[in-house]
Structure formats: structure tokens, C-alpha cells
Structure 1
Amino acid sequence: MKSDLVIVYHRQPYEEVEHEDGTVELVENKSPNGIVPTLKGFLGRAEHASWVAWKYADDPVNPQFERTVEISDTYGDYSVTRLPLTRNQVASFYHISSKEAFWPILHGFKERYNYDPVDWPTFREVNWAFAEAAAEEASDEAVIWVHDYNLWLVPAYIRRLKPNAKIAFFHHTPFPAPDMFNVLPWREEIIRSLLECDAVGFHIPRYARNFLACCRSQTSARTAEERATEPALVKKDSTALSERVTPVSIEFKGRKVLVDVNPVGVNYDYITELSQRDEVQEKVAEIKESLGDCKLVVSISRTDYTKGNIEQLETFERFLRDRPEWRGRVRLMLVSVASNRNMAAYEEIQNRIEELTGRINGTFGNFEWQPVSLMSTAIPLEDLVAYYRAADVCSITPLADGLNLVCSEYCVAQSEEQPGVLILSEFAGAAVLLDGAIPVNPFSHRSMDRALEQALSMGPTERAERMKKLKASAGRFTNANWTDKELELFEALRNGASEIED
């Protein structure tokens, strides 16, 4: 059965659990929070939907698993097409091309860009395989929805295979300005592929405007329409990522490409309900009892040079050095979840984080008090929500981040009686969405130091006022709202919204 919605994303929409007898069970995601469950929320809203992802195979010709499986879970009935890719193909297209070449450029780290090992023919080959699978699954009226930078070439290939398809793309990372993006030797091919879409989506207006500038740099594309930025996306205190005008559409070769600015959010209702469960409340009480009179600062992210983990630790070290009265009275819980363990860049960051943690604890700690708790494995959301509620401060200070949902999770989890304080980098996309955070420039020691001191010293009235604004902001940008707006976009595409009127 052909599908009227095809989601193309590199990850499968479930967890694979291998049993002792060698059988593999496809288990539904435990938490309805996160990007995969959010995307799965679309599956039950279509008459029939498909999902295209990759799966390891020693021999892609004879992969030893069914290419397409039918799934029935709480999200609905849908098909999943698994592309058999070898470990070498995945390493080439994902770990090398995407992570070593694209990732640093997307986040503005030109000095970490590594062109030499990129195998562009393999990247094309893998993207072609995704496009073929998507085109095969799609009905004539389908919307094919492609996700993120590692599938940049898929739209152009789908357009070849299925010329009348409605193609949407959503970019989950930052999109850089031309001076940065044009470092990529394949820049024109990438841009021309994205311009084959009927709609290209971004979290915030800045990324959409950067994309438009890159299109102008590489092609004759021009702005077809723009409008004043939605008030909820314009802050009174201007942030580094603010834009007062948002592109609406681009015209290229007689076609109109819609520009979709729609920030994804968290599962507000689920996190609220979770924060009020008895077991979570008990965990909060345990954490607070273990802290005694200490205040708790939490910072949660992946291990990545973009996330500001090292800057976070260096700020805390300076704070303890320059404010001796706080020694023994504050602790930092840094959750830095290791990813891409085989990549030298991430190993280097993890080693530096561990070195700094050891130095801070060795310099300032004692038998009764260790200033930094470092966790390098993922924490279940139930426990994470308990730490959110127990924490006095949440410090999210990436050097660059497409959006960042941890800060929103923290705000939604807060109690009205004893709310915490959010420190938020101006260079996280979420800084454009959330009112009430202490804005910080992670490239400035003075800014980082002042923000931490301000947060720890803030009185209850100001804390409550700020958190009220933050929760209201997070409530405007939820995963449910994102879903509704994307479905409206799909309906508009089916009704010909991307066609140029005579």
C-alpha cells in the first residue's frame, strides 16, 4: 500500500532489543519526549504513512532482515523501510562526511572542518538509496518529508524519480551564512538539491535567512515574499540570533519554495505530568536531602565541542577561585553524554572534561564536599525531571546550537513554590523563544561569571517572575503545536501552495 506521508530520517522509529535466543524485538520508544517520538506523532495522522531509515547489514544484497516491516503501536499503523548499509558506508556518509565535514561548518567551527577523508561518491550513493526507497513508498499525492543535513541530496534525487512529488525538508541544526557554508566544496550541489523542495523548514528566522543568503550566493534564487517576524520570536532584549524579518518563500526557475519557520518543542503535558508523579517527588526529596545546604547547578548536553561543556567547567572553576565563600555551598552536576566515541574530536573533548573535573575536585573538594559531579551516560527522563525540580540553576551555554530542548524541559518541570533559574546562551536557537532566562555570551568570561553569580544570588520573587515567563514561552512552542503547523503546511503543499501563480 502506497503512503500519503513518507518520513525520511536516518534513525529507525523504535528500539531493537536482541534476546538471548538471537531473535530481535522491535520495542516502542519508552518516552514520548524527543525528536523520534515527535516525528512518530505524524504517523497516526495520515491515512497510511511510511518511515525510511537505515540498518546495518554485512551484505546489503542479502541483508538477512526484511527490507520493509509493518508496525502497529500506540502511534498507529505504518510501514518502515530499512536500507541495508554496511558499516563502511555508515562511517563514510554519517561519521565522516556529516560529522567531520558538515557539522563543524553548520556550527561555525571552520578550524575543525576536515575535507580530506570525505568520500563524496559514497555520500551521493547513500542519499540516492534513501531517495529510491522514499519514492517507492510514496503515493502520487504524498508528501515526502526529509530530515536533516546528512540527507541533503535526497530532495534532488526524489525529484528525478518522482517529478510531481511534494517534497518538504526540515533542518534541525543551525544553517550558516554564506561565508561559512561556502567552505564546503559541494555547496552548489547541496543548495540546488534543497531548492528542489516545495518547502524547507528551520527552527528560527535566522537560519531561514542564512539559507536564503546561501541560495543567492550559489544560484539566481530570489526572495518571493517576506514578513515581519512573529512577535513570539522577537525578544525585547535582542539576542545574537534575533531577526526582525522572516523569509516566507523563495522563487527559483519559475517555482516557489516555501520557507517554513517552525521551532519544535517539548512534550509539555507529559513532562508536567511526570514532574508531579509520586516517585519523582520522592526522588526530588532524596536529592535535596543529599545536598543539605548546598545549591545545585545542573547542565545537561552531549559531549561535543559545540556544547560549551569545557567553558561551563572553566566558569565554575573561576567562581570557586574568586568566591571562596561559596565553597561547600554549591555543586555542579554536569551531564555530558558521550557520542561518536570513535571520533578523535569527541574523544579530545571528553578527555578535557574529565581532566577539568578532576582538577576542580582536587583543588577545592574535600571528604564532605565534591564540587563537580560528572555523568557521562544518559539519565532516564524520570530521573532527569527530578534533578530539574531539585536544581536551583540550570546552565545551558552552547557555543552554537540549532535549538536545544533541555532548557525548555527544565522550565516545564519547575514547581511554582520553589522555581529555579535558567542561564541560557544567546547562541542556542531556544534563546529566541524563551523569555525570562539570564542571557549569556559563552565566549565571554565576564558574561559567564556574572550570569552564574546572578543566578545563585537571585531572590525568590525574581525567580518566580522569570520562571512564569519561561514556562509560558515553553507552552507556546510545544511538540503538539509544531505537529499541527507542519500538518497545515503539508495540506497547503497538496493544495498547490508552492506553485507560482500566473
Structure 2
Amino acid sequence: MVSAKDVQELVKSKLKGYKFLIVSNREPYIHMHTPDGVQVKTPAGGLTAALDPLMQATGGTWVAGGSGDADRKNVDKQNRCRVPPSNPKYVLKRVWMSKGEVDKFYFGFSNQTLWPLCHNVFKEPIFDESFWSGYKHTNALYAEAIRQETRGIDKAFIWFHDYHLGLAPKMVRNGATKKQKLVLAHFWHIPWPAWDTFTLLPWGKEILDGMLANDLIGFHLPSYCINFLASVEKVLGIKPDYRVLNVKYKGRTIHVRPFPISVDFDTIDKLARKPGVAREIKRVRAPQYIPYKYIGVGVDRIDYTKGIL
């Protein structure tokens, strides 16, 4: 198993001299108003759970959308704050979006267009021009935030995450200065559909053009890599090398690879071994509480692509 220390050493050895940035829609820490004052909470979700330990080990800057009702009051003039609050290890740079922008970018194009399309579920994706416009606009907001963080920097490694940011890589690359050396990578956390499903997307060419501004594109499974390359071939008319999972585009070679992501097992294991957990398990297993031999517990969100047990 690869540890946080292993990743730290890898980043130090391979990215020496590079500024390290992670870019995602969801932020790893949220400032919220509560009756007891402002509190910092960590959002639920695999992305932040997987990447926060990495960032704490390596340092750098995490660019993400501000979502807490006290977020704006807890950043500096550059919309930055140090996290985790108890023991700061890296910088969180927040991107601000209005409710209307979130509705079109996140709840609209990301979740009502790309999500059902990529999961190939029996729910028709919504192809709405206003959603697409909002998606483009918000990707531009992220690209501008990244430009602010890399201004005056000669070398930077920028790691984009998920389907919310399909256009931002091209915007960032196009906005770089001639002397800047930017290495762009993108991990797409959901499936990439078969090419004949992807071609239903009216803006598929633009999404592919944005994604191919990366140097490295990662998916969970090899089949998703093949689906992506097949989409490139069918939509853009470019023949990839399926044998080595590469494609040449606009004078550059883009590498497409499977990288199954994991969770922070050590932290979860420690939580599971706490005395309070054992007591609760014993209480739930008591016959007078639940008189069944087998008990199933599910923690998935209520979503049509996730099973609720």
C-alpha cells in the first residue's frame, strides 16, 4: 500500500522546483456559522478524503469552490486560507460562485448532463444551452484562480479533478506565458461512457478539446481509458495508440492511464477501533434492539447510480 510518506517523497523527487496545485469543485474544509460560532467542517465524499492526506503530506495549493456560509470571512485578500486549521499544511484558494452560477454549472450541466451521460443510466441527460454556458463560465473562473496562483511561477504541476472541470485545462494552458512550464494532469472520478453514448453530447468536441490540454489523464479502469480514446477517435477523427494508451493532439502526446483511487485506510481503521465504536456495535447487535442475525448498513448518498442498503 502506498503511504502518504511515499507520495511525499515521489512529489519531492519528480516535481522538484514545481509549484503543486490540486483543482476540484469541492473544497476540503468548509467554514460554517453555528450557534457556538464559526466551525470548520470536512465535507463527505471520496475525493476530499483521498486527497487531503496527500496535500497534508506534500504541501501546495488546493483551488476549490467556496461553499460554506462563513468561507468569505475566513480568507485573506487573495481568497486564501491555511488548512487544516489545527495544524496548517497547505493553502486553500477559494473560487466564488453565485447561486445562479452553481445552479447551471454544478446542479445543471455537471449533474444533469454529464453525470447521467457518463454513468449510462436509464435517465435521459438534459442538454440545455444555459447549463452549458454556465459550465463554460465557471470553468473560466477556476482557470482565472489558477492563473492568479501561478503568476510569476516558472514551473507548476496542476492536477485537475473530476467532470466539473473539463474545460479548465485548455483555458489554463492557453493563458500561460511562453516561459512557463506547466504540467497538467486530470483525474476523471466517474466512468467515461462508450463512444456512441458520448457522441450524444452536443458539446463533446469542446469537452475533449479541453481535456486534451492535459499531459496525463487518469480514470479508474482500463475500459474507461479505452472509451475515452475511442471518443477522441470518433469525435475528433484522431487515431490514438490503443496499445500504449496515448494520443497525439496539437503537437503534444497525451498519456491516458488507469489509476484506481483508494481511501485513507489507516485513518478509517483507527476510527473503527475506537472504544465508542465497539460499544455502539455491541448495542446495535443486542437482540432487543434489532432481532436479526444479519445487519446491513449503507452509507451511500441517495442517488440513482448508488445502491441504498
Q: TM-score range by the shorter chain?
A: 0.7 to 0.9
Aligned CA distance change for structure 1 residues 110 and 181 (closer, same or farther; 3 Å): farther
1:201 and 2:218 aligned: yes
**Residue 219 of structure 1 corresponds to which residue in structure 2?**
236
Structure 2: 5+ residue stretches without partners: 1-16
1:181 and 2:211 aligned: no
Equivalent of 2:31, from 16, 33, 36? 16
Q: 1:52–1:80: 8 Å Cα contact kept in structure 2?
A: yes
**Residue 264 of structure 2 corresponds to which residue in structure 1?**
267
Aligned mates of 2:183, 2:126 — CA distance in 1: 34
Trace 1:135-284 onto structure 2 (pairs within 5 A). 135-138=147-150, 139-162=153-176, 164-224=181-241, 226=243, 247=245, 249-284=246-281
Aligned mates of 1:292, 1:29 — CA distance in 2: 35
Cα deviations by residue, 1:15-62 (Å, 9 ceiling, x for unpaired): 2121448x644x26399x84213212232344x51111122699xxxx
Counterpart of 1:70, as a letter, is: C
Trace 1:91-102 onto structure 2 (pairs within 5 A). 91-102=103-114
Cα deviations by residue, 1:454-487 (Å, 9 ceiling, x for unpaired): xxxxxxxxxxxxxxxxxxxxxxxxxxxxxxxxxx
Q: Does the residue aligned with 1:222 lie in a helix, a strand or coil?
A: coil
Aligned CA distance change for structure 1 residues 83 and 265 (closer, same or farther; 3 Å): same
CA drift of 1:142 comes to: 1.1
1:296 and 2:295 aligned: yes
Q: 2:49–2:263: 8 Å Cα contact kept in structure 1?
A: no
Aligned mates of 1:259, 1:189 — CA distance in 2: 18
Q: 1:208–1:259: 8 Å Cα contact kept in structure 2?
A: yes
Q: Does the residue aligned with 2:213 lie in a helix, a strand or coil?
A: coil
Q: Does the residue aligned with 1:183 lie in a helix, a strand or coil?
A: coil
CA drift of 1:302 comes to: 1.5
Aligned mates of 1:56, 1:208 — CA distance in 2: 32
CA drift of 1:186 comes to: 0.3
Q: 1:4–1:142: 8 Å Cα contact kept in structure 2?
A: yes
Structure 1: 5+ residue stretches without partners: 228-246, 310-333, 335-502
CA drift of 1:100 comes to: 1.1
Aligned mates of 2:259, 2:88 — CA distance in 1: 24
**Residue 3 of structure 2 corresponds to which residue in structure 1?**
none
Aligned CA distance change for structure 1 residues 75 and 117 (closer, same or farther; 3 Å): farther
**Residue 49 of structure 1 corresponds to which residue in structure 2?**
60
Counterpart of 2:148, as a letter, is: E
Q: 1:44–1:75: 8 Å Cα contact kept in structure 2?
A: no
Aligned CA distance change for structure 1 residues 297 and 70 (closer, same or farther; 3 Å): closer
Q: 2:32–2:41: 8 Å Cα contact kept in structure 1?
A: no
Q: Does the residue aligned with 2:111 lie in a helix, a strand or coil?
A: helix
Aligned mates of 1:299, 1:308 — CA distance in 2: 8
Q: 1:13–1:36: 8 Å Cα contact kept in structure 2?
A: yes
Aligned CA distance change for structure 1 residues 83 and 200 (closer, same or farther; 3 Å): same
Q: Does the residue aligned with 2:96 lie in a helix, a strand or coil?
A: strand
Aligned sequence identity (%): 30
Aligned CA distance change for structure 1 residues 293 and 220 (closer, same or farther; 3 Å): closer
Trace 1:32-431 onto structure 2 (pairs within 5 A). 34-46=46-58, 48-55=59-66, 66=76, 67-73=78-84, 76-109=88-121, 111-116=123-128, 118-138=130-150, 139-162=153-176, 164-224=181-241, 226=243, 247=245, 249-289=246-286, 290-309=289-308, 334=309
Q: 2:31–2:68: 8 Å Cα contact kept in structure 1?
A: no
Q: Does the residue aligned with 2:255 lie in a helix, a strand or coil?
A: strand
| TM-score normalized by the length of structure 2 | 0.81
RMSD: 2.8
Counterpart of 1:209, as a letter, is: I
Aligned mates of 1:280, 1:270 — CA distance in 2: 14
Cα deviations by residue, 1:317-369 (Å, 9 ceiling, x for unpaired): xxxxxxxxxxxxxxxxx3xxxxxxxxxxxxxxxxxxxxxxxxxxxxxxxxxxx
Q: 2:222–2:257: 8 Å Cα contact kept in structure 1?
A: no
CA drift of 1:135 comes to: 2.3
Q: 1:101–1:114: 8 Å Cα contact kept in structure 2?
A: yes
Cα deviations by residue, 1:271-303 (Å, 9 ceiling, x for unpaired): 333333322111111111123353223333211
Q: 1:101–1:118: 8 Å Cα contact kept in structure 2?
A: no
Bigger Rg, structure 1 or 2 = 1
**Residue 5 of structure 1 corresponds to which residue in structure 2?**
20
Cα deviations by residue, 1:189-231 (Å, 9 ceiling, x for unpaired): 000111110000111111111101111112243334636xxxx
Aligned CA distance change for structure 1 residues 18 and 174 (closer, same or farther; 3 Å): same
Cα deviations by residue, 1:103-146 (Å, 9 ceiling, x for unpaired): 11011136421123643222211101101111221332211111
Aligned CA distance change for structure 1 residues 76 and 161 (closer, same or farther; 3 Å): same
Aligned residues: 281
